[in-house]
Structure 1
């Protein structure tokens, strides 16, 4: 059974061999028994379907429901009177569930993780591979953001950026549906640019 690996760890071929979300889904939906010396196998965040495909598309409501259900069962607050091994088990698995949920709930991080599972990673500083027209668009938005101090103008840019991200998310979903990893890589690189712009808009917002 494939196990969930933190995003900092590169998956091996054997870890990905079942073709499903096994590491996040856990395969059966139950909690593993505490075992400080054994392998860590996080439980289900996705529906417990055998060999459920690692697709980009997922049901966000179901993902959130399963996350909340698991955290109610795994949160360290519920293990205050338990043994040291059980408390450590709770802390470790609760953190893994948090990381899995944080990765899967956002289109960009989910897409990057899917690429990582297939041995494909975005390289930093790969502007030479980007479309010049696209880079020009990003520069224009950056200039508008830097030049404005008006909340209305920033809000307009924020809506524009969100619309672009939604459009790109549809493109990357289609790319994964077609198993076109190079296209998915190109689209995700664009999404990273817009994600950076989103952070810039947030940092310039006037506190209410």
Structure 2
């Protein structure tokens, strides 16, 4: 096996022969990929969810090269599809050199795309600002005179930004997505996380809503539901901060029921107006 110094010399020689090929050399003191520690998922800013990214690794790509390396994307492992120069950041919506739109980064989390902290209580104002900025630059109308590939990438990027924004905008969908990133989900059509007392309470609320004859009665249910959702949101945030994923899952299941009631209340109010 080559020593570290000899390996560096070999890599340097290859770089001289192939200046356009990215080289990922090992750093002194670096450990094998399998020994890199995982970070606390609930107290960090999410980056791309590419394979191995959780361990501080990223794909290095180039002509004849596709492997894991410990260097970051910012160090030039990902190149522009058009000019083949390093993109320099991730996610890269446009090449800094030739300015062409880039394809969506496979596996990137919505938090990373929207430049948000990986937290349940994210800054929704910042989220909206980021959304408007991206859509102004990525909207397909801006690329009607561009190449077919650029039109395709702009449509894909714009659709992805839309989906990311809609997912992160509301606490319920945001929390469910965070559980999904952690390999947990709430199955559709089940009463997972809801006890008999809670389900009985929901039945009573639905009956009261069906029987409501005035705006005042419907508004009373609306305010009660809003208060319960706010309380569940606070409890879910606390659970996620502590890393109590099962508790968060149960709370989010209750939020789904309350959100359904909220939608029914809106329909009822529109009928009574």
Sort the TM-score into its range (normalised by shorter chain): 0.7 to 0.9
Q: Residue 165 of structure 1 contacts residue 194 of structure 1 at CA under 8 Å; is this kept in 2?
A: yes
Does 2:48 align with 1:2?
yes
Q: Residue 193 of structure 2 contacts residue 251 of structure 2 at CA under 8 Å; is this kept in 1?
A: no
Q: 1:102 aligns with which of 153, 166, 181?
A: 166
Which structure's CA Rg is the greater one? Answer: 2
Alpha carbons of structure 1 residues 132 and 63: separation in structure 2 relative to 1, 3 Å: same
Q: Residue 2 of structure 1 contacts residue 18 of structure 1 at CA under 8 Å; is this kept in 2?
A: no
Cα shift at 1:163? 1.1
Superposed CA RMSD in Å reads: 2.6
Matches of 1:45 and 1:172, distance apart in 2 = 22
Number of matched pairs:
186
Query: Which structure's relative contact order is higher, taking Cα pairs within 8 Å and 6+ residues apart?
Result: 1
TM-score with structure 1 setting the length: 0.79
Matches of 1:129 and 1:39, distance apart in 2 = 34
Unaligned ranges ≥5, structure 1: 4-11, 20-26
Does 2:264 align with 1:200?
yes
Q: Residue 2 of structure 1 contacts residue 15 of structure 1 at CA under 8 Å; is this kept in 2?
A: no
Q: Residue 91 of structure 2 contacts residue 105 of structure 2 at CA under 8 Å; is this kept in 1?
A: no
TM-score with structure 2 setting the length: 0.61
Matches of 1:180 and 1:94, distance apart in 2 = 34
What residue in structure 2 maps to residue 7 of structure 1?
A: none
Alpha carbons of structure 1 residues 123 and 152: separation in structure 2 relative to 1, 3 Å: same
Q: Residue 120 of structure 2 contacts residue 175 of structure 2 at CA under 8 Å; is this kept in 1?
A: yes
Report the structure, 1 or 2, having the larger helix content.
Answer: 1
Matches of 2:131 and 2:105, distance apart in 1 = 21
Q: 1:113 aligns with which of 170, 177, 191?
A: 177
Q: Residue 103 of structure 1 contacts residue 113 of structure 1 at CA under 8 Å; is this kept in 2?
A: yes
What residue in structure 1 maps to residue 115 of structure 2?
A: 46
Q: Deviations over 1:158-205 (max 9, x none)?
A: 111111111101110111000000000000000000011111112223
